[in-house]
Amino acid sequence: MGDATVDGGRTAYRASDWTQDALLERKGDHTISVVIPAKDEEATVGEVVTRILADFVADGGAGLVDEVVVIDSDSTDATAAVARDAGAKVFSAKDIRPDLGAAFGKGEALWKSQFVTSGDLVAFVDADLIDWGTHFVTGLLAPLLVDQGVHLVKAVYDRPMIDADGREEETGGRVTELVARPWLALHRPGLAGVVQPLSGEWAIRRESFASYAVPVGYGVEIAALLDTADRFGVEAVAQVDLGRRTHRHHRHDTLGLMAVQVLAAAERRRDGAESGARAGMPELDMVPLRQFVRGAEGFEPRETAVAVSERPPAASVRMPSVESR
Ligand SMILES: O=c1ccn([C@@H]2O[C@H](COP(=O)(O)OP(=O)(O)O)[C@@H](O)[C@H]2O)c(=O)[nH]1
Ligand SMILES: O=C(O)[C@@H](COP(=O)(O)O)O[C@H]1O[C@H](CO)[C@@H](O)[C@H](O)[C@H]1O
């Protein structure tokens, strides 16, 4: 790792610097996919899809974005129907390349999205956004279109926690502050300048993402950050200020599962992607996480099997056999 750092916490780009027209002049032969991973997001996915299509996918393909794809992770609500009615191409993660099996998690959805999208630039946008804007898309894509040395763009924003009464509490990003940032401070000081290492809004060159192993769960963001910095240098990571973002929050106890997945992905990369050795972590598929609730007889354990497996680089995956098409 060089001693360069990611712009020391400053964000090199601002979404307001780039209009769609300015980016269309830079688009050239690039093709662009927006991928929206969704699990039980019927309340918000429709507006996310509608606003992005309206602003960026002109009839006849004259817009900045060439496709908007929702990857549904076994939603138990009407997420898929709402997204489809809004105009998105919708795929169920488990139905994509069934010959490759099915894992459960956000990373699995993003990994499988590679087999049903074609853009050489890909922007990932969460489906649970509440306070956001379509400038998220132009802001994420701008650095990739204007600087060939950038491989990954991370969103930066204010992300307040909103309580049940709609009041702003402290800032969100609990796993960021309690897990990801401390781990980076210990093991990747060169990335200490990344303001939101886990932001769910990010953009990447397809070829780069296709060369990375992908954790099947919530470790996908920290893995992409570490692999990009290790593979292309910290200067290949750009940050764009998108202003403010609020989303549907997890309950506190479910963040423990997310923390295990983020730590597992980071630990596997502690010695650098190129080291090959998956330091610090044997090749595990599941980690038992034991949490506790008070019962009649005292504290009772609640154990959850947390998936920490990783999918191989999509570029290394064989084409589907004729039978599996
Ligand atoms: O197995 C999963 C888990 C999450 N998500 C989606 O990934 C995004 C981020 O997940 P979540 O909101 O749970 O994480 P948070 O942003 O609260 O950390 C959301 O659009 C989820 O619907 C998904 O597609 N598959
Ligand atoms: O940043 C974080 O700590 C977590 C949890 O955010 P909150 O504490 O619910 O605001 O959210 C992010 O991390 C996940 C794991 O990388 C991403 O998948 C989410 O999209 C992102 O919102």
Could you tell me the residue ranges of all domains in the chain? 3-251
Please write the tens of the pLDDT for every residue from 2-32: 345 566 666 788 888 899 999 999 999 999 9
The identity of residue 52, as a single letter, is I
Please write the tens of the pLDDT for every residue from 101-149: 999 999 999 999 999 999 999 999 999 999 899 999 999 999 999 999 9
SS3 294: strand
Q: Report the predicted TM-score, pTM, of the whole model to 2 decimal places.
A: 0.94
CATH 3.40.50.11440, domain 3-251, yes or no? no
Give distance in angstroms: CA of 323 to centre of ligand 1.
Answer: 32
**Element (H or E) spanning 226, and its range?**
helix 220-232
Supply the residue whose CA is at minimum distance from atom 9 of ligand 1.
Answer: 126
Q: Which region among 68-72, 243-247, 309-313 has the lowest average model confidence (pLDDT)?
A: 243-247
Please write the tens of the pLDDT for every residue from 165-180: 878 877 889 999 999 9
Q: At what angle do helices 106-113 and 220-232 cross, to 10 degrees?
A: 50
Q: Structure tokens of 91?
A: 């795929």
Q: Which ligand is nearest to the CA of 258?
A: 2
Q: Which region among 51-60, 208-217, 231-240 has the lowest average model confidence (pLDDT)?
A: 51-60
pLDDT at 10: 67
* Residue 61 reports pLDDT greater than 80: no
pLDDT at 164: 74
pLDDT at 122: 98
% of residues, the chain, pLDDT over 70:
91
Q: Which ligand is nearest to the CA of 162?
A: 2
Shortest-distance atom of ligand 2 to CA 161: 10
Supply the residue whose CA is at minimum distance from atom 9 of ligand 2.
Answer: 249
SS3 72: strand
Give distance in angstroms: CA of 26 to centre of ligand 1.
Answer: 31
* Residue 276 reports pLDDT greater than 80: no
Q: What is the ipTM for the molecules in this complex?
A: 0.97
Averaged pLDDT, 157-165: 83
Predicted confidence band of residue 1 (pLDDT cuts 50, 70, 90): very low
Q: Structure tokens of 255?
A: 């963040």
The dihedral through the CA atoms of 170, 171, 173, 175 has a sign that is negative
Q: Which region among 78-87, 109-118, 278-287 has the lowest average model confidence (pLDDT)?
A: 278-287
Give distance in angstroms: CA of 71 to centre of ligand 2.
Answer: 18
Top mutation candidate among 125, 163, 194, 218 for ligand 2, by most atoms within 8 Å of CB: 218
